[in-house]
Structure 1
Amino acid sequence: MEFDLTRTVALLVALVLLGTLALIGMGFMATATVLMMVTPAMLVFGAICLALGIKHGEYRAAN
């Protein structure tokens, strides 16, 4: 599969959505807590990991 910006963002959002729905469905935390604290943290962490992964891939491709 060849990744472009659209597919990459769609996969990141899909993973975060799946995790959010799972947490809400389990009833482990209050829904407001999941939506206001956990979901934004998952998005930020995912974006940071994505950026680090892209930079590492660029480094590996160049060397």
Structure 2
Amino acid sequence: MEFDLTVTAGIFAAIIAVGIGGLVAAPIPMDTSTILMMVLPSTVVFGVICLALGVKHGEFRAGASGRL
């Protein structure tokens, strides 16, 4: 599978949607507004940081394989 910007953004959005949807549907004593205003933004920021680190690591691994 070729990971371009569209595929990556779609998979990222799907993972976030499944996680937030599970929290909204779960029988926990937390309001939906709290989930959408606090958990969703922090999840997106954490995901973006992890994605950026993963891309940089992939670039490093791709460049390092030619030097070995």
TM-score normalised by structure 2 residue count: 0.88
SS at match of 2:2: coil
Query: In terms of Rg, which structure is larger?
Result: 2
Bigger helix fraction: 1
Pairs within 5 Å for 1:6-45: 6-28=6-28, 29-45=30-46
Identity of aligned residues (%): 52
CA deviations over 1:21-61 (Å, ceiling 9, x no partner) = 10000032210110000011111100000000000000000
Aligned residues: 63
- In structure 1, runs of 5+ residues without a counterpart are none
Unpaired runs of at least 5, structure 2: none
**Structure-1 separation of matches of 2:24 and 2:48:** 22
Shift >6 Å, 4+ stretches: none
